[in-house]
Amino acid sequence: MANIRVDFNQTVGDIKPLHAVNDVPSVDFRYGGAKEGMDFFKESGIPYSRLHDVSGRYGGNVFVDVSNIFRNFDADENDPNNYDFTFTDKLLELMMESGIKPYYRLGETIENDLQIKRYRTNPPKDNLKWAKICEHIVMHYNYGWADGYEYNIEYWEIWNEPDNAKDEINNQMWGGTPEQFYELYSVAANHLKTKFPQLKIGGYGSVGFYSIAQKVLEPWANAEAGGSWYFIEYFEGFMKYIKSKNYPVPLDFFTWHSYSNVEQNIIYANYVRETLDKNGFTQTESHCNEWNPGPNKRNTMRDAINIISNMLMWQNAPIDMAVYYNSRITSSYGGMFNPLTWGVTKAFYSFKAFNALYRLGKQTIAESDDEQVLTVSATNGEDVAIVISNYSEEDKALKITGLEDITDKCVYSIDENNNLDQIDKDVLNGEIIKNEQIILIVGKKSN
């Protein structure tokens, strides 16, 4: 039996934005597809969308990427006529109308075919000029420059996966050396933070720290001999470099990626936090801003379980934001939608269930004595919610204490037969939570 104790009178912190996503479902403006995609976001309560790989290869040649907005690097970066914001404007207008906060990646989309030709991922010819171009992009979206907006976009991320490969010839995201990227980040972060001290400037979208999990889970193996140890060397080199500069190098948030399971993701979160703290970046937020526990399981309950279980575990781990990859309907990495029908999947309802916690704001005590029956609870002072996920591969007897004084209780389920539908079955007194089932219970505190 899995015993869960909940106490809605004891808050322990904020519910984190762990159900943010990369990209948007659609950028097809012709037949209202983009608006329809934003409606899906509104329904599931997505708090942030990271603007990376928008519209696929090369950012669709019109979206977000620095080279799409400022097409001629040799042009005058102070002249608004040298910027093309058109399609990115349209996208952000829809996002803001829908209440979705943009998380803006300053950089380029991955070049998967660089063996034929590299177009945009070489180091800029002039780091400071690149930073000034980014400054004007910020000005356009936050301060009205060039017939722009006042969106108050908070997170501005510099680049993505510069450590994509050890050999820069085969690195799909960065055609230079590590030191060249470290210098670009240092110059750009310092410039942007000087201009906009109230904004959060960070990066760099590390590929991930897979060898750390191997070192913990397989201590007999030589994890340092593996190719992915390079990602760790790169991170530690980055830390050392930005600390060595004779001017401040801001790192308001550090970003990293993972395509691993729940247990490994906790190991990575601990490693990142420990490394940041050890290097003096104790106030730097940690964001896993690309993660997906298994795109090959799309439209299955196991995918939904893996996704919600990551969110529930990360709520009590040293991580500040998680950004799922990817929300695009047609993406091979997307798990929220069925690309054949454009309908939602089981995973979509995992995001919606977590949002039931997020919208209440404050996390409360919820404890499970079964490490594979995961739970998080929340309140806004009046309303309450608890999400329970059976991550195991067997049915479990379930007993919950602490709901006795909760009124107007409703129970919802995500399982093979339900899509966050209200169920009549009483799961509150020794009933069964099925293998691969997610339960949401909502109610109100009694006065």
| Angstrom distance (rounded) from CA 330 to CA 309 | 24
Q: Which domains does the chain have, with CATH numbers?
A: 47-291 (3.20.20.80), 364-445 (2.60.40.1180)
The neighbouring-strand residues paired with 364 are 11, 377
Residue 184: other Cβ atoms inside 10 A: 24
Span 252-263, pLDDT tens digits: 999 999 999 999
**Radius of gyration of the chain measured on its C-alpha atoms:** 22
Q: What is the pLDDT of residue 339?
A: 87
Nearest-10 Cα torsion for 35, 39, 42, 43: -170
Q: What is the pLDDT of residue 430?
A: 75
Number of residues written out for the chain = 447
Structural element, H or E, at residue 136: helix 127-142
Give, to the nearest 10 degrees, the angle between helix 301-314 and helix 346-358. Answer: 20
| Angstrom distance (rounded) from CA 282 to CA 446 | 40
φ, ψ for residue 361 (rounded to 5)?
100, -55
| Angstrom distance (rounded) from CA 425 to CA 187 | 59
Contact partners, residue 208, CB within 8 Å, separation at least 6: 228, 231, 256, 257, 258, 259, 260, 268
* Chain Cα centroid distance, residue 349: 17
What is residue 292's three-state secondary structure? coil
Span 196-205, pLDDT tens digits: 999 999 999 9
Buried b (16+ CB within 10 A) or exposed e, 329-356: bebebbbbbeeeeeebbbbbbbbbbbbb
280 by Cβ neighbours in 10 Å (0-12 / 13-18 / 19+) ranks as exposed
Q: What is the pLDDT of residue 145?
A: 98
Q: What is the DSSP letter of 434?
A: P
Question: Which residues of the chain, if any, have pLDDT below 70?
Answer: none
